[in-house]
Amino acid sequence: MKHKRLNRDGWGFSYYPYYQMRIDDELFHGMACLIKLTDGENNYWATPKAGRVQVTGAGMSWLELVPDDTSRVITIMYFPEGTHDNERYHYPTPADQRFRPSIYYVDITEGITYDDYGVATYIDKYLDVIFTPEGDVKIDDRDELDAAYASGELTRKQYDAALQECDSILKEYCEDIPKTDAWCARIREMVEEKIKAGEPIKPCKEVLELHNSKLYKIMSQFVEQSRTILGDNLTGVYLHGSAVMGCYNPDKSDIDLIVVVNDFSSDNVKRKFMEAVVALNEEGPAKGIEMSIVTKAVCNPFVYPTPFELHFSVMHVGWYKDNPEDYVRKMNGTDADLAAHFTVIKKRGKCLYGAPIDEIFGKVSQADYMDSIWKDIAEAEEEITENPMYLILNLARVLAYTQEGAVLSKKEGGEWALKSLPETYHCLIEAALREYAEGADVSYDMKLAKDYARYMVEQITREKENLNK
């Protein structure tokens, strides 16, 4: 049986406060945990009555309850506060408008243990009960339970206990789902009150590693400097790129940031901002910080090509240091790349400070996004010998978008290509993934690389034409 930590590290969340506490009240005796999802892609499950059901995404939260003297973990996956998916046409009125459950998931367990950091870990006994506010009820993974019993992993006693626990869950929670909603909402309120009173974030391994990382420290300093210099003009600071897509490598990645302001900034303010960014860049990863400042007005409705007020990357350090007045005066204009950056922010970005992403960023049309990413690979056959790793992986993720609509990282693009492209090119893709992930010193067959680039551009061109029909 698998051991699963209640901070849900196996789901791949990048940034999330995790709280773990004891509650003793006449309503509930047991352990309560809360995860607040501050970033990540929206993921959905399909159900007969509720339809498409959201389970992850920025702003959602998961309340996990482990009642005493039971063998279960109840996870309530809540929409962002005060909202619910408009596609849930038969969504009932919740008991508490602040806490709107999307779906309930109950794991049947063999017990609870704790890791070295004190994070609660349950022993998963395969069988689950899933239900929605609209009345879907499903017993899941019965086949896995049966297989574990047949193989001897579970004794007859453990097997029967799992089925009995399942029956209890169905009776206690699924016969009157509105009553279950009200019960969970009252416990959630207790949890929130304890957090307001000072209940700390549980310092699990992931949180400690994040807070001790150079990436976290630089992001935190960038936000504080932005707040200090831009003041009330600052709308928000948003992270995109590898840092939110699960493939950040300090030796190969930069830190990608978008700063949104309410109105135009003076050259004096821009100069102060640049001084702070250039100084912070020296503490950053090998490829440094890449950031753009844009006004709120160009974000929604989205303007393409997108005007920007200020831009910086490591390639501009020399210009700024040699002539900062000239840099501040001239570093503005339009940037087609911002369509791609905004798309990633909408799909997978993280708000580091300020207004929520969906409140600031409008929809980027398929045509604008395609034009933006096409410009990056249009000359790939000529350019691939100069930067093979980048173009091998970038071509893959562009083709993945044209064929499947997927917005992928370079790493994910490479992994997709290994499953989707002719085996002839797998050695190139594998080498590029090794260089990207490990910093490995690899050599490329440049003749094959040019052939790959030609093939990929042809495929993308064909798909691009189909999109335009």
Instruction: Tell me: pLDDT of 84 over 80.
Output: no
Enclosing H/E stretch for 127? strand 120-131
Q: Where are the domains of the chain?
A: 3-201, 213-360, 366-468
**Both tokens of residue 237?**
């600071």
What pLDDT score was predicted for residue 301?
Answer: 96
Segment 320-345, tens digit of pLDDT? 999 999 999 999 999 999 999 999 99
Rounded average pLDDT over 266-289: 94
Distance (Å, whole) CA 38 – CA 58:
5
Segment 148-182, tens digit of pLDDT? 999 999 999 999 999 999 999 999 999 999 999 99
Distance (Å, whole) CA 4 – CA 165:
19
Q: Are 425 and 452 in contact (CB under 8 A)?
A: yes
Instruction: Tell me: pLDDT of 91 over 80.
Output: yes
Q: Can you give the pTM of this predicted structure? A: 0.65
Distance (Å, whole) CA 106 – CA 129:
5
**Both tokens of residue 114?**
């704790």
Q: What does 81-120 look like in DSSP terms, one character per residue?
A: TT---TT-TTPPPPSBTTB-EEEEEEEEEEEEEE-TT--E
* Tokens 């499953």 belong to residue: 419
Q: Are 325 and 349 in contact (CB under 8 A)?
A: no
Q: Which of 316, 364, 366 is nearest to 338 (CA)?
A: 364
Q: Give domain 3-201's CATH architecture.
A: Beta Barrel (2.40)
Query: What are the phi and psi torsion angles at 60 (to 5°)?
Result: -75, 165
CATH of 213-360, one of 3.30.420.40, 3.30.460.10, 3.40.50.2300, 1.10.10.10: 3.30.460.10
Instruction: Tell me: pLDDT of 209 over 70.
Output: no
What pLDDT score was predicted for residue 82?
Answer: 66
